[in-house]
Amino acid sequence: MAVTTKEIAEMVGVSRQAVSAVLNGKPGKVSP
């Protein structure tokens, strides 16, 4: 079963949008 961006976000404590931005190669939209 595939892992969703929602599940990743919940595991690491960030928003789905942050996970999506990193996976799509847009780390400038995410603060460290």
pLDDT at position 25, please?
86
Check: CB of residue 10 under 8 Å from CB of residue 2.
Answer: no
The gap from C-alpha 25 to its chain's centroid, in whole angstroms, comes to 11
pLDDT tens-digit readout, 1-22: 899 999 999 999 999 999 999 9
Q: How confident is the model at residue 29 (pLDDT cuts 50, 70, 90)?
A: low
Cα→Cα distances 19→4, 28, Å: 10, 12
> Is the pLDDT at 31 greater than 70, yes or no?
no
pLDDT at position 7, please?
97
